[in-house]
Structure 1
Amino acid sequence: MANTNDEITSARARGRVGGRRPKLTEDQAALAQRLYDEREKTVQQIADMFDVPRSTVYGHLDKSRTVPRQPKKTAVTKL
């Protein structure tokens, strides 16, 4: 365990942080956020633009900045 911690400390000193690299760059994530906030594209359309799954797009969206969505209007049937 001590060797592992020493290696991690050494790697961090060399500028390594570990973990998986994000699929979207900062510019792509900012564009996705803008398209989503302005309701220009759906999450699926944004995901298709960047060739990633919808879950990746949702992971990059800033939840505190997002505009609340309105539920889809359904046709009212009279009985």
Structure 2
Amino acid sequence: MNQRIGYARVSTEDQHLHLQRDALQQAGCSLIYEEAASGKSTVRPELKQCRKALRSGDTLVVWRLDRLGRSLSDLVQIVADLERGGISFESLAEKIETGSAAGKLVFHVFAALAEFERNLIRERTRAGLAAARARGRRGGRKPKLGEAQVKEIRALLRDPEIQVADVARRYGVSRTTLYKHVGVVKPRHP
């Protein structure tokens, strides 16, 4: 019996799979594999399990092309592997299915466009970050330790009886964070 098996992926734990899950269920998927993993990550255990579950005659269904491949070449490789196994591929948003020659052509065109779109987004993000830096703004996480805390820690670590691990615990940070912020590497006591 030929199955329609879905694969849904979000990039971060903050995002939700509801939209993808609903679309895949409406498309008749009897089984849906879901995971939260960056598209760039090579470690995607649910995708691996999904591919193991697929048999000749089955169809792998995704909500959008970029949910499956890390890059255009990765996407093309996955679809080629599926085709070698007699498995069709379908992307709902782009209305692509590789069960026909025309569908295969459309797949390759849309895969290239999806890669192009991701590259544009990446370029815009980099340009935006550069513009923000030029205006004196910094992105990223706030430092774990403030200037006053760094001064206190330096004073504490001057005492040979005080262990770095104890200071790290006291301030709720790792030893590595202390070394990074304070720049002190204290010799270990025997």
TM range (shorter): 0.5 to 0.7
Work out the number of aligned pairs and report it.
69
Letter in 2 for 1:18: G
Q: Please state if 1:69 is matched with 2:187.
A: yes
CA contact 1:32–1:46 (8 Å) conserved in 2: yes
Higher strand share: 2
SS in 2 for 1:41: coil
Aligned to 2:178: 57
Tell me how far apart the structure 1 counterparts of residues 125 and 188 of structure 2 sit (CA, whole Å): 50
1:14-52 Cα shifts (integer Å, max 9, x gaps): 431223221111111111111111225211110111111
Provide the C-alpha distance between the structure 2 equivalents of 1:37 and 1:25, rounded to a whole number of angstroms.
19
Describe the shift of the 1:17–1:43 C-alpha distance in structure 2 as closer, same or farther (beyond 3 A).
Answer: same
What residue ranges of structure 2 are gaps of 5+ in the alignment? 1-121
| Corresponding residue to 2:148 among 17, 20, 27 | 27
1:17 aligns with 2:138: yes
Q: Which has the higher contact order (CA 8 A, sep 6+)?
A: 1
Larger Rg: 2
**Out of 32, 44, 48, which is 2:165 matched to?**
44
Deviation at 1:61, TM superposition (A): 2.2
TM normalised by structure 2 equals 0.31
